Chain A
Amino acid sequence: MTALLALNALTVAYGKLHAVQDVSLQVAQGERVCLIGANGAGKSTLLKTVGGLLQPRSGSIHFASQSIGSLPGHAIVARGLALVPEGRGIFNRLSVLENLELGAWLRRDRAAVRQEIATICERFPRLGERRNQPAGQLSGGEQQLLAIQRALLSRPRLLLLDEPSMGLAPMMVEAVFSSLLDAHRGGITLLLVEQNAQLALTHTDRGYVMESGRITMENTSAALHDDPQVRAAYLGVGSL
């Protein structure tokens, strides 16, 4: 089995600060993988690098067996890899509809795009009702839903998500994750970065733990969830 996404000995640095060090990681087609870790562990940096928004210092990134480490962000989207950035990256002053249309910016099949947007508006009535309002007026959870749907409109094979639960009410977190599971059922591979380890580990197949820029653990999500070290450090339970 060849991996859909494969990082090999990846190092990313801001000047002298090595935010990501020697990280190797694989995601297979159809998998749901999470990356958990504390604040500042380098998770977001890693994801941004894969999405082409940062350039790696060394190491390689392969997507569908092709090297994408040196490609700019927009070219990576064209290959079928979409990133939902941290803080959602919504175009606040553009309407909900315009946000969705921008997700399909690279696509030429206008009729199909229109159809898909109509379906989104039906499935998420809150987005549908407010399609002509500025996206900045949506609640945080609605913005997250919009960001995910916008990314899906580029028809990615792999969706990268940076802290999708951040700052959301518990009910919205559920809605966001159920929309992710829907996307996964539709054939999309997921790689998500989360601080909320409980949430991440219960919604994924496999997980990596990141600490100070390095991967320290790798296992199935279920195993990580039961691991005493993980429980103590990230789930806030276990022996003291």
Chain B
Amino acid sequence: MRRRQRSAWIAGTLLAIGLACLPLLLQIGLGRSWVRIADLALLYTLLALGLNIVVGYAGLLDLGYIAFYAVGAYVYALLDSPQFGLHWPLWAVLPLGAASAALFGVLLGAPTLRLRGDYLAIVTLGFGEIIRIFLNNLNAPVNITNGPQGISLIDPLHFGTISLAAPHRLAGLTLSPPLQYYYLFLACVLVVVFIALRLQDSRIGRAWAAIREDELAAAASGIPVRNVKLLAFAMGATFGGLAGGLFAGFQGFISPESFNLMESVMVLCMIVLGGMGHVPGVILGAVLLTVLPEALRMLGDWQLNHLGRVVADPDDLRMLLFGLALIAMMLFRPAGMLPSPRHRREWRKDARP
């Protein structure tokens, strides 16, 4: 027992050192743009972990999840930009964004959660589009969101007077902005991972698993099905809203186009690809699906250098390979790359003795 504890400590320490050094290695080895990609991967990890609560834990298919990301991002953008001349502190804006997203989660969930399966998926898909179209049109009669132009000059993430968009020197090292964002996002991811893992083993987590399996039997076991589902929606939305706020402060510019249906589908793909309901799988999925498309962009340069011209547009190629990868996954590893033991059971063909 003690030995296992010690090896867990060693593994944890190594992982921490690795995660801390990773962006430095990326910056030296591949350049600063890759640190930015790592930042994005962390943001998507936050999103995927949030959606995993709804889809993976509670089994509710949500195709409009990106709307909560949008809510968090717009709350940040409106309260921290020249749009209204507001410059609220980070500690107020981020929680407010997360809370607003949770509120929207409940607003969406309350009337729709009696729907099941496909019907719920369609309604959530509609909800995601409604939010996006609202953001697109809320520039008249009163200009709130600036419409399709989006909001620019958003204040970067900042602690008091320390802005993460400016480099800082720490112990003889110069920390570039992407590096600073990396450490902030990493801290957020670690907190969310901790919460997600604790939730899974909690009373609520078991209630979610029961609802995913059989709603009637869950109700017959005394589980308040509606409230527990609403809680899943609200928790997932909270994480989405947090990620949205971080995204707005990181990017400095947001527009409704950043929150289209494709993004929702992308986050869902991360979960499915990685392993639904399993935190390590979800993280793997999010990192892979952020990094791979970026890596494929390099195929364009490669074509220019070796073939003299771009034969296949890397963007098309990206989607093509992406589709092929998903089909291959469904054929060979339908439960995901790192499935949870329980989901592996679900996919084992007819496990009856």
Closest residue on chain A to residue B347 by CB atoms: A93
What total of A-B pairs shows CB separation below 8 Å? 77
CA–CA, A151 and B222, complex, Å:
10
Q: Is B224 an interface residue (CB 8 A)?
A: yes
Q: Which of B219, B224, B351 interacts with A53 by CB under 8 Å?
A: B219
CA–CA, A31 and B346, complex, Å:
41
**Residues from 208 to 240 in B contacting A, C-beta threshold 8 Å:** 209-210, 213-214, 216-226
Q: Is A11 an interface residue (CB 8 A)?
A: no
CA–CA, A103 and B224, complex, Å:
13
- Report chain B residues within 8 Å CB of A92: 213-214
CA–CA, A101 and B222, complex, Å:
12
CA–CA, A84 and B346, complex, Å:
24
Establish whether residues A93 and B342, one from each chain, have CB atoms under 8 Å apart when the complex forms.
Answer: yes
CA–CA, A10 and B214, complex, Å:
27
CA–CA, A101 and B205, complex, Å:
12
CA–CA, A136 and B209, complex, Å:
15
Establish whether residues B221 and A77, one from each chain, have CB atoms under 8 Å apart when the complex forms.
Answer: yes
Establish whether residues A91 and B219, one from each chain, have CB atoms under 8 Å apart when the complex forms.
Answer: no
Establish whether residues A137 and B352, one from each chain, have CB atoms under 8 Å apart when the complex forms.
Answer: yes
Q: Is A189 an interface residue (CB 8 A)?
A: no
Greatest chain A CB density within 10 A among B216, B220, B351, B352 is at B220
* Interface residues of A, dominant DSSP: mixed
CA–CA, A75 and B219, complex, Å:
9
Count residues on chain B whose CB falls below 8 Å from chain A CBs.
Answer: 24
Q: Provided the pairs A91-B214, A102-B206 are in contact, do residues A72 and B219 lie with their beta carbons within 8 angstroms?
A: yes
Q: Provided the pairs A91-B209, A134-B345 are in contact, do residues A103 and B221 lie with their beta carbons within 8 angstroms?
A: yes
Q: Is A42 an interface residue (CB 8 A)?
A: no
Establish whether residues B217 and A85, one from each chain, have CB atoms under 8 Å apart when the complex forms.
Answer: yes
CA–CA, A73 and B342, complex, Å:
27
Min C-beta distance of B113 to chain A, whole Å: 13
- Report chain B residues within 8 Å CB of A51: 220
Q: Provided the pairs A91-B217, A94-B210, A98-B209 are in contact, do residues A72 and B224 lie with their beta carbons within 8 angstroms?
A: yes
Q: Is B353 an interface residue (CB 8 A)?
A: yes
Establish whether residues A73 and B219, one from each chain, have CB atoms under 8 Å apart when the complex forms.
Answer: yes
Establish whether residues A91 and B207, one from each chain, have CB atoms under 8 Å apart when the complex forms.
Answer: no
Establish whether residues B220 and A106, one from each chain, have CB atoms under 8 Å apart when the complex forms.
Answer: no
Encoded as 1 (CB less than 8 Å from any A CB) or 0, chain B from 325 to 353 comes to 00000000000000000100110000111
- Report chain A residues within 8 Å CB of B213: 91-94
Establish whether residues A93 and B222, one from each chain, have CB atoms under 8 Å apart when the complex forms.
Answer: no
Min C-beta distance of B340 to chain A, whole Å: 11
Q: Is A43 an interface residue (CB 8 A)?
A: no
Q: Is B306 an interface residue (CB 8 A)?
A: no
Q: Provided the pairs A91-B210, A94-B213, A134-B351 are in contact, do residues A102 and B221 lie with their beta carbons within 8 angstroms?
A: yes
Establish whether residues A101 and B206, one from each chain, have CB atoms under 8 Å apart when the complex forms.
Answer: yes
Q: Is A89 an interface residue (CB 8 A)?
A: yes
Establish whether residues B352 and A53, one from each chain, have CB atoms under 8 Å apart when the complex forms.
Answer: no
Q: Is B2 an interface residue (CB 8 A)?
A: no
- Report chain A residues within 8 Å CB of B224: 72, 74-75
Q: Provided the pairs A94-B209, A98-B209 are in contact, do residues A74 and B223 lie with their beta carbons within 8 angstroms?
A: yes
Q: Is A78 an interface residue (CB 8 A)?
A: yes
CA–CA, A103 and B220, complex, Å:
9
- Report chain B residues within 8 Å CB of A90: 214, 217
**Residues from 118 to 143 in A contacting B, C-beta threshold 8 Å:** 134, 136-137
Establish whether residues B216 and A89, one from each chain, have CB atoms under 8 Å apart when the complex forms.
Answer: yes
Establish whether residues B342 and A154, one from each chain, have CB atoms under 8 Å apart when the complex forms.
Answer: no
Establish whether residues B222 and A77, one from each chain, have CB atoms under 8 Å apart when the complex forms.
Answer: yes
Q: Is B203 an interface residue (CB 8 A)?
A: yes
CA–CA, A77 and B203, complex, Å:
17
Greatest chain B CB density within 10 A among A52, A84, A102, A105 is at A102
**Residues from 47 to 61 in A contacting B, C-beta threshold 8 Å:** 51-53
- Report chain A residues within 8 Å CB of B210: 91, 94, 102, 105
CA–CA, A78 and B220, complex, Å:
10
Known A84-B220, A91-B209, A106-B222; 13 more pairs at CB < 8 Å: A53-B219, A74-B223, A77-B220, A89-B216, A90-B217, A92-B214, A93-B345, A98-B206, A102-B218, A102-B223, A105-B207, A105-B222, A136-B351
Q: Which A residues form the contact surface with B (CB < 8 A)?
A: 51-53, 72-75, 77-78, 82-85, 89-94, 98, 101-103, 105-106, 134, 136-137, 150-151, 154
Can you name 9 A-B pairs with beta carbons within 8 Å?
A78-B222, A83-B220, A84-B220, A93-B345, A93-B346, A94-B210, A102-B206, A102-B223, A137-B352
Q: Which B residues form the contact surface with A (CB < 8 A)?
A: 203, 206-207, 209-210, 213-214, 216-226, 342, 345-346, 351-353
